Amino acid sequence: MLYFNAALQGIFLAALFLSMVYIIGVVWRVEGELDLSYKFLSLAVLFLLFGEMLRVFSPVFFEWTFLLGDGFRAVFGCLFLASIYFMRDVVRKEDGELDDPVQKKSEQKERKAA
């Protein structure tokens, strides 16, 4: 049973590391508010990765590393929430639910030119 648990934790850590690589690849290719959302997401996944690594290896090091791992997981939750919040604003602006002052100015210029 111990080997099965260790294998599952290893798969989880590997998946987190791989998602970190893909998220960083996206952050380098996007701009603006989407960039901000993905920066928060990449930080969140990084903190979750560190937190899980500390929780997995806490018996090897010190007992307080388990508590530090829980702290990293709490920071993950806050950063993940910030990422979702900024992504929500991007989607709402695309749908026209929120007013975008830059878009309004360009539309006004187009109307004046016509």
Domain ranges of the chain: 2-113
Q: Does position 113 have pLDDT exceeding 80, yes or no?
A: no
How does residue 100 score in pLDDT terms, banded at 50, 70 and 90? low
- In the chain, the percentage of residues whose pLDDT exceeds 70 is 75
How does residue 1 score in pLDDT terms, banded at 50, 70 and 90? low
Spatial contact of 25 and 64, defined as CB atoms under 8 Å apart: no
How does residue 102 score in pLDDT terms, banded at 50, 70 and 90? low
- In this predicted structure, which of 13-17, 26-30, 66-70 has the lowest mean pLDDT? 26-30
User: Closest Cα partner for 106 from 29, 114, 9?
Assistant: 114
Q: What's the pTM value of the predicted model, to 2 decimals?
A: 0.63
Taking every pair of C-alpha atoms in the chain, what is the biggest distance, in angstroms? Answer: 73
